[in-house]
Chain A
Amino acid sequence: MARAVRNRAETNWAYWSFITPAFVLYLFVFGFPIILSFVLSVSNYGGGKMFGGDPWSLVGLGEYFKLANDSNFWLALKNNIYIVLISVLGQIPLAFVLAYIIFRKIVRWGEGWQAILYVPAIISVIVLGIMWKMIFASNGLLADIINAMDTQTFLTSLNGLLANGLNVTDDFVTKLLAISDPRALTGFTNPLADIKDLILSNGYTTQNLEVFRSDMVNLLAPKWTPDFLSKQDIAMIPILFVTLWVWTGMYIIMFHANMQKIDTAIIEAARIDGASELQVLSHVIVPNLSGVLANAAILCIAGSLNTFALIWAMTAGGPMNITQVLAIYMFQNAFIGVPNFPLANAISVFIVLFSFILIGLTLLVERRYGGRE
């Protein structure tokens, strides 16, 4: 009996000896910043030296109430939720299906596809953000492609009007206006008279029709601009797309590696029993990997809530903060304009709490519906 007690004491001592240094280090690295962040969020600290600088004190939860009444905060939160949704409900299912296709060798050169899909994850997100920003820019690749098509359509119609040469009459200009982009006419007080006057004053003739065509394309052809990037909610679409594109490859690798651990005899048995590929996926693979899926979801949620660099590089949260997320909102309050450190810390505390809630929900779902690996 005494020996058993001594053994248990030794075990406990050994356990705490091993765990304590790491636990203290963990508390220092992770716990302390969270606690300090909370303390600052309920203080009136205004920057400068924390100790020995201007005096500061605890003033209560005012910054949290301020957050609750701040439309920018709710907008940032909504955008973050979009990113969580595209990550959890986009990246994970897509990656899972693609990993399954590669695992089951439904496509050829599976390993090659895996490598290609993983490439975005190994490139700096800042570089990717700048690249996509250039693609979506008003004079970027996307706009160029669409404008080239629009220009072609306009030119075809214009050539129809010029079939009998250039004869600048009211009727000709009226037809010209009919094929023009209505937005190109908004700057004219009287489009018919103004454009007719412009054409006549520029001295176009049948001999220089090419110049006329080119000038009319510049002036009147539809010009597509990615103005959706300035509309609330819609502006997030390119960011969500890029988020999906960048990180899906990483989850493919994760799922594929875990699928390879599944005993193939189970899959073969299911197939012999008549299960389709879809049934194998839903009844064999998914239950076997529910823990991996839960971990992937946790990674997704954590990554989504602290997403910063990609959006900063693509839009910096603009225009007018409509692509702002919580991390950018926190950064702006801490380091741009007039720093409001208590508010910035309140945002970071909220991010931590919100992460805990979402991760808790994920674990609950996994426990309720997940299988056993």
Chain B
Amino acid sequence: MKRLALVLALVAFAAMSLVAADKTVLKFLYYADSSQAGYADDMATWAKFKAANTDIDLQMEILFDRPYAQKLTAYAAAGTVPDVVYMWPTTNEASSLLQSKKMMKDLKTVLPADFLANFTSASLDPSAQTSKQLSELPQSFTFTTVMYANVGLLKSLGLSVPKTYAELKALVPKLRVKNVQTVLLPNADKWPAQSCLFSTISGRLLGDAFIDNVLAGKAKFTDKAFVDALAFYGQLYTDGIINISNVQMGYGDGPGLFAANKAAFIIDGDWRVGAYLTDKSNGKALIDPAKQASDFELLNFVAIPGEKNVNTASAIAGTGLGINKDLSGAKLDAAKRLLMYYYGKEVQTVKLETGAFIPTRTDVTSSKLEPLSQKQIKYYSTVPKTTYVLDGALDPTVFGPLNDGLQGIPLGAQTPAEVAALMQKAQDALPKK
């Protein structure tokens, strides 16, 4: 009897192994914030994909923020890039090797032309990616500087929404008496100040032409104009608009503090809208829809004294999924199906409705958007022109000292001129093209 049971168990094990062997294993490194409202909906879409594609053994690894970047870099470094990865279009630190070493397939050669025809032409522009090919299909066009405003809080204190820097500065003591910070910009992770604020400051005061000139060797970061832009950034702290404590505040801490009326504004990317929407899995929202409608706005950053490019904001082709260049046969077919599912109308509509992003897929619309998502679309219309996000335009060895400096300047550990000099030194050390 025991022998029979053993034989049956072995047969069952062998049968299961055969079934598993029939499946195409697809390793997928995915980026998602489990604390974000749309997480459950996101996971539901993947569960649906698995159910509809029983011939694919989808092995997902889900990480967020710094752990994601480190894991992806480690995979790329070891030459073990998963079959499908979530990635950035430029040399943003997480995708540096993937883009610069062309470790991903050109999706224009993988995805059918009639499928790609559903996307905006800007998202299909290979020149927007460091690899100069469609290594990933940008799912959105990302505006990295949005000034989320708690206008309800301002109104309750008898204050109005500022339009200029002087008006913003005038709010500081009036908010401080009520123990409210003026602007939150959590920057312990270094990149937020550069990506979400300084890129816009640079764009407004100098314009993309200056960065192009630096890259061409016709201008230097040590030029007075750039040093002045850094000095203006420092002034935000000395004027009390951004509290010095933000330098050591984790990126994830911002939305909770903002929603709890601890600050009148928070500067973040448009992708953060999703943090405030209703989590359909539990019906809870960091800011409930009624409050979103009445008390919150998404604004363009206030007018900066001396800005040449009025009201511009930094923006860049968004993140998306890419396929490992070594894939072929059944694995490539499975990866292709995954991408076509992800970029399909159904999933992209979920993304839109959960506030993850405004898709680049042109036929995606919804009548179920929460007020903050509707305001996000309205916000785009307030930006007459976009400018570079510096970590998308500069080499990582150059924006590295900038990121450090955007901590060092407010802390008084570095001067704007020192930061500019370090950036120029790094720029000069790059191989000439």
Contact = CB atoms under 8 A, between A and B. Distances in A.
Interface of A: 46-50, 53-54, 137-139, 184, 186-188, 194-195, 198, 202, 215-216, 218-219, 225, 227, 229-232, 316, 318-322, 334-339, 341
B220 interface: no
Contact of B178 (A218, A229, A318): A218
Contact of B397 (A139, A187, A321, A338): A338
Given A230-B411, A319-B247, A319-B407, A188 B173 contact: yes
Contacts of B395: 338
B308 interface: no
Given A48-B103, A202-B177, A318-B188, A336 B70 contact: yes
Interface string B58-97: 0000000000011001101111000000000001010011
The interface centre, meaning the residue of B74, B78, B79, B96 with most chain A CB atoms within 10 A of its CB, is B79
Interface stretch (B26-34, B116-124, B237-245, B334-342): B237-245
Given A227-B244, A321-B404, A49 B96 contact: no
Given A336-B73, A339-B73, A47 B79 contact: yes
A-B interface, 10 closest residue pairs, ranked by CB to CB distance from nearest: A49-B79, A138-B245, A187-B240, A215-B177, A338-B396, A48-B79, A230-B411, A218-B179, A47-B77, A319-B407
A54 B101 contact: yes
B408 interface: yes
Nearest to A136: B248
B177 A187 contact: no
17 contacts: A47-B76, A138-B249, A184-B176, A187-B238, A187-B240, A218-B176, A218-B179, A219-B177, A232-B413, A320-B404, A320-B411, A320-B414, A336-B70, A337-B96, A338-B93, A339-B96, A339-B97
A335 B93 CA distance: 9
Contacts of B101: 46-48, 54
Given A186-B240, A322-B413, A334-B77, 20 more contacts: A47-B76, A47-B97, A48-B77, A48-B103, A53-B79, A54-B101, A138-B245, A186-B238, A227-B244, A230-B411, A319-B188, A319-B411, A320-B407, A320-B411, A320-B413, A335-B77, A337-B400, A338-B396, A339-B73, A339-B96
Nearest to B326: A49
Contacts of A215: 177-178
A230 B247 contact: yes
B375 interface: no
A263 to B, nearest CB: 53
B248 A138 contact: yes
B214 interface: no
A37 B310 CA distance: 52
The interface centre, meaning the residue of A195, A218, A321, A341 with most chain B CB atoms within 10 A of its CB, is A218
B414 A336 contact: no
B182 to A, nearest CB: 10
B174 interface: yes
Nearest to A215: B177
A187 B172 contact: yes
A336 B76 contact: no
A188 B96 CA distance: 44
Contacts of A322: 413
A50 B80 CA distance: 11
The interface centre, meaning the residue of B76, B103, B247 with most chain A CB atoms within 10 A of its CB, is B247
A337 B93 CA distance: 4
B79 A50 contact: yes
A16 to B, nearest CB: 36
Nearest to A138: B245
